[in-house]
Structure formats: structure tokens, C-alpha cells
């Protein structure tokens, strides 16, 4: 099987190794064609975003307005903060020049003169590696004004790296743009979409690192070749990051549509101690978890996973064996979203806190049967009521974990506690005459 994003070529992070393996050939080929042709090819290739939403990359590019009356920008999203996903760092480390070449082709196609690579702040090492690659590209004439000498023609573009500072929300495209602009990075209300009103009010396209890294291969080998890999509706290879209870965790580049069970057992070496799988989150912590008995025959692409009741997300597969305490897992996931909620929208800011309180109460053994319903109710009131998708990201795991593993949660709560009375007691404790703590039955 051929690998596109992380090929098995040694020292590919070295520009000479990259050049001797056909580096920048795709860009040379691209500039002999019109930008519209490039967009058309990427559209036909069926390349879909690898950052979570799986939106058609070519279609996204085609939203960019034509003409040069305003500067245009490309943002490359390497914020990668979703728990369970750790694929972009592999690209920064092992194949940075293919990313740079992808950026050049994308900038040419959408008419952008400036590209910002947004890398999360914790990735100091990978920021430095990527900066080194960008500096090399500038020195060798593969970026900046020197591109005119290297490739001929009039087109050139600048590539800058913007380092984040530890905020998950900056992976959301409009929040990412606010972060680059130096504002407090609250997500923006859409519409207007970034293609109309992005960085500093100018047309902007935001793509994931992995998406962009696929582009040179599509131009080189043709869209027909790319469209024939994996599942026709979501073609190409995907970087699957497998973590949790598996023998060989790591990033595996496999064609889309690979069976989830194959990834876990064939590639990631199965579960330690041959234990049974209780739960798998197939696309990073915000995606609906699947029960162990739901995994058979599930293919890893956007459409198949949707049919199976989950979503592809970032392809971060988290495996949990039969001894895992799912209440604890869900409490930890919810703690993450509670911590990372930016605080702009009330349902998300307050709801994540409430869900965490409820889960902690269940963990302490003080939960009532009503708490299980209340969790789902709070999740339902967050979902769809927020500016950005963090609301859904926080609500989905709670909603689906509780529904799909109801017995786990019900075994931890007691029917004897009435939530209404407890609340009354709580409020009365704050009065001048506090009453004795309520004993549980």
C-alpha cells in the first residue's frame, strides 16, 4: 500500500532527500496550469478536510473570491489539541517540505500571498523543526520572493509560523484567525464565512496540515489516481492515531475505509492481555463513542462512521478495555471541555461545568437516578446552541456515552436520593441556620 503523507523514505525532512524524491515537482506542474484548473482537480480528487468536519477541500477553495482587490490568506491549522489526535506532529517532524509544497500550491490556487501555519504552543520541538524547514525553504528559494527566480513566473508567497499558547479553542477556524490577529480568540459568528471575511476582514482559507500535505500528490499523480484510493466518497489515506489500551499505539497511515477492527488488531497489535474491548472513540475525544459490540464491520471513513453512529473527526482512535471505568473517562473528557470552553456562549460555559459537577457527584457515589437523565438533558441544551462546534464536542461524548453505556452509569447511582431535595438542602445550607448534612440511603 502506498503512503502519501508519511512515506517510508529515510531523511525526508532533509530538503535534498525531499528534492531527490520528486520534491517541488508538483508545484512546477501546478504553475503551468491555471488556478481554477488546480481547484478543479482537487475538487474532483474528492480530498476532504482531515481536521474533523471532512469538508471538500476543493469546494472550500472555490469559495474564495476571484480578483486581487483585497489580500488573501491561507491558514494552515496545526493546533491539534483534540485529545487522542497526534498526527500533525509527525508531518512537522518527518515530512515538512511536502507540507510547504502543499502550501505553495494551495496559495497559487486561491491567490494567497501569505500563509500562516498555526502550531500549538506545547509543540516547542515541532515549531522549531518546522521553522527550520521554512527557513531552509526561504534560503533555497522555495518560499518568498526568491520563488520567482527558482520557478520563474510572477507568483510568490510568504510562509510564517504562528505559535499558539495552549488553548484548544484556537483549533476552531474563526478562533484561530482571532488568535493570529492578536485578539482574545473567541470564535466568530458565521456567516460571514472566512472566504469572505477572514483574517483582518480579508478572504481567507483554513485547511488542516494533513489536508494540505495531500495536495502535492494529487497534482503529481492526477486526481483519478487519488480518487481511486480507499472509499470513493472519502478517498485517500488517513493518518489514524491509535492510543489507549493497545499493544502498539502510534500513527498509522492507511486507506480510508480500513476496518476499525483491522486497525486495532492487525496494525496496533490488539489489546494487552487479550482483554475484550469495552469502548472505542473513533475520532478524537469529542466524537460519539462506540460500544465494543458495535465495532464489527465498521469502516473508517466519514460516511461509514456516520452510519455506524459516530464520526471520523481527526482519526484519533482511543481504545478502552473491559476493565475501564467509563464514568471516570467521561468525567475526564468533560473536565477537558469545561477547561477549554472559551466562555463566550452561556450554554457551553455553564453546561460543561454542570455536566462535570454531575459526573463528579456520580463518581463520589452520591449520584441519583435522575442525574443520568439530567446529564443528557444538559448535553441536549448545549448542542446546537453555541457559536462554534465546541458545544457539540462537549455534548456528544456525554450524550452518547450515557445512552450507549447506560447500565454502567445506572449501576453507580442510587434511586434513594432525590435530586430535588438535595438541591433544596444545598440552597438552605447557605442560609443563616445551616441544617445537618443529608444522610444517604
- Can the peptide bond before residue 17 be classed as cis, meaning omega within 30 degrees of 0? no
Beta bridge partners of 258: none
Handedness of CA 95, 18, 211, 130 (dihedral sign): positive
172 forms part of the interface with another protein (CB under 8 A):
no
The beta strands (E) that lie in 283-342 are given as 290-291, 316-321
Name which of 29 and 162 has its Cβ closer to another protein: 162
Name which of 68 and 433 has its Cβ closer to another protein: 68
Handedness of CA 142, 147, 153, 154 (dihedral sign): positive
Question: What's the CA gap between 1 and 236, in Å, rounded?
Answer: 11
24 forms part of the interface with another protein (CB under 8 A):
no
Question: What's the CA gap between 21 and 311, in Å, rounded?
Answer: 35
**Among 28-36, 52-60, 248-256, 374-382, the segment contacting another protein (CB under 8 A):** 248-256
Contact 423, 374 (CB under 8 A): no
Q: Return the ∠ at Cα 60 (arms to 129 and 2), rounded to 5°.
A: 55
299 forms part of the interface with another protein (CB under 8 A):
no
As separate numbers, helices (DSSP H) first and strands (DSSP E) second, the chain gives 19, 9
Name which of 38 and 320 has its Cβ closer to another protein: 320
Name which of 266 and 429 has its Cβ closer to another protein: 266
Residue among 150, 196, 324, 403 that touches another protein (CB under 8 A)? 324
CA within 13 Å, CB half, 402: 26
Parallel, antiparallel, or unpaired: how do β-strands 290-291 and 73-78 relate?
unpaired
**Among 47-55, 239-247, 350-358, 416-424, the segment contacting another protein (CB under 8 A):** 239-247
Positions 349 through 388 that interact with another protein (CB under 8 A): none
Cell numbers at 376, concatenated: 443528557
**Among 5-13, 164-172, 349-357, 364-372, the segment contacting another protein (CB under 8 A):** 164-172
Closest CA to 301 of 253, 234, 242: 234
Name which of 78 and 235 has its Cβ closer to another protein: 78
Residue among 160, 415, 424, 440 that touches another protein (CB under 8 A)? 160
241 forms part of the interface with another protein (CB under 8 A):
yes
Residue among 200, 266, 426, 434 that touches another protein (CB under 8 A)? 200
Provide, rounded to whole angstroms, the least separation between the CB of residue 277 and another protein.
Answer: 12
Provide, rounded to whole angstroms, the least separation between the CB of residue 178 and another protein.
Answer: 10
80 forms part of the interface with another protein (CB under 8 A):
yes
Helix (H) or strand (E) holding 163: strand 158-163
Positions 329 through 348 that interact with another protein (CB under 8 A): 329, 332-333, 336, 339-340, 342
Helix (H) or strand (E) holding 117: strand 114-119
Residues of the shown chain interacting with another protein in the complex, contacts defined by CB under 8 A: 71, 80-86, 88-89, 120-125, 160, 162-168, 179-185, 200, 241-245, 249-251, 281, 285, 316, 318, 320, 324, 328-329, 332-333, 336, 339-340, 342
Amino acid at each position: 500500500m502506498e503512503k502519501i503523507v508519511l512515506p517510508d523514505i529515510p531523511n525526508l525532512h532533509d530538503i535534498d532527500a525531499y528534492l531527490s524524491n520528486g520534491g517541488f515537482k508538483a508545484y512546477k506542474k501546478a504553475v503551468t496550469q491555471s488556478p481554477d484548473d488546480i481547484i478543479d482537480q482537487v475538487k474532483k480528487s474528492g480530498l476532504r478536510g482531515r481536521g474533523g468536519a471532512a469538508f471538500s477541500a476543493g469546494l472550500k477553495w472555490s469559495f474564495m473570491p476571484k480578483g486581487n482587490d483585497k489580500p488573501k490568506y491561507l491558514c494552515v491549522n496545526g493546533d491539534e489539541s483534540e485529545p487522542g489526535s497526534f498526527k500533525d506532529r509527525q508531518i512537522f517532524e518527518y515530512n515538512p517540505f511536502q507540507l510547504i509544497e502543499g502550501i505553495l500550491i494551495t496559495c497559487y490556487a486561491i491567490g494567497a500571498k501569505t500563509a500562516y501555519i498555526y502550531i500549538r504552543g506545547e509543540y516547542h520541538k515541532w515549531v522549531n523543526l518546522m521553522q527550520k524547514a521554512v527557513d531552509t525553504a526561504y534560503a533555497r528559494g522555495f518560499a518568498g520572493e526568491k520563488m520567482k527566480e527558482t520557478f520563474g513566473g510572477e507568483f510568490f508567497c510568504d510562509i510564517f509560523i504562528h505559535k499558539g499558547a495552549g488553548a484548544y479553542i484556537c483549533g476552531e477556524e474563526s478562533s484561530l484567525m482571532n488568535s493570529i490577529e492578536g485578539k482574545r480568540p473567541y470564535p466568530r459568528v458565521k456567516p460571514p464565512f472566512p472566504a469572505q471575511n477572514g483574517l483582518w476582514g480579508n478572504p481567507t482559507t483554513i485547511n488542516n496540515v494533513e489536508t494540505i500535505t495531500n495536495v502535492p500528490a494529487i497534482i503529481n499523480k492526477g486526481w483519478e489516481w487519488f480518487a481511486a484510493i480507499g472509499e470513493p466518497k472519502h478517498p485517500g489515506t488517513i493518518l489514524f492515531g491509535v492510543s489507549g489500551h493497545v499493544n502498539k499505539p502510534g500513527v498509522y497511515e492507511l486507506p480510508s475505509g480500513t476496518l476499525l477492527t483491522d486497525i486495532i488488531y492487525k496494525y496496533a497489535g490488539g489489546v494487552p492481555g487479550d482483554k475484550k474491548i469495552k469502548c472505542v472513540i473513533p475520532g478524537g475525544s469529542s466524537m460519539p463513542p462506540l460500544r465494543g459490540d458495535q465495532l464489527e464491520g465498521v469502516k473508517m471513513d466519514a460516511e461509514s462512521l456516520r452510519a455506524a453512529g459516530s464520526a471520523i473527526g481527526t482519526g484519533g482512535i482511543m481504545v478502552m478495555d473491559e476493565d475501564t471505568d467509563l464514568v471516570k473517562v467521561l468525567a475526564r473528557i468533560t473536565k477537558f471541555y469545561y477547561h477549554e470552553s472559551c466562555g463566550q456562549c452561556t450554554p457551553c460555559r455553564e453546561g460543561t461545568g454542570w455536566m462535570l459537577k454531575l459526573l463528579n457527584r456520580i463518581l463520589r457515589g452520591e449520584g441519583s437516578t435522575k442525574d443520568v437523565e439530567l446529564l443528557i438533558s444538559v448535553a441536549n441544551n448545549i448542542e446546537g446552541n453555541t457559536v462554534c462546534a465546541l458545544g457539540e464536542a462537549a455534548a456528544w461524548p456525554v450524550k452518547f456515552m450515557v445512552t450507549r453505556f447506560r447500565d454502567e452509569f445506572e449501576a453507580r447511582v442510587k434511586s434513594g436520593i432525590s435530586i430535588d431535595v438535595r438541591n433544596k438542602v444545598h440552597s438552605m445550607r447557605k442560609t443563616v441556620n445551616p441544617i445537618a448534612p443529608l444522610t444517604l440511603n
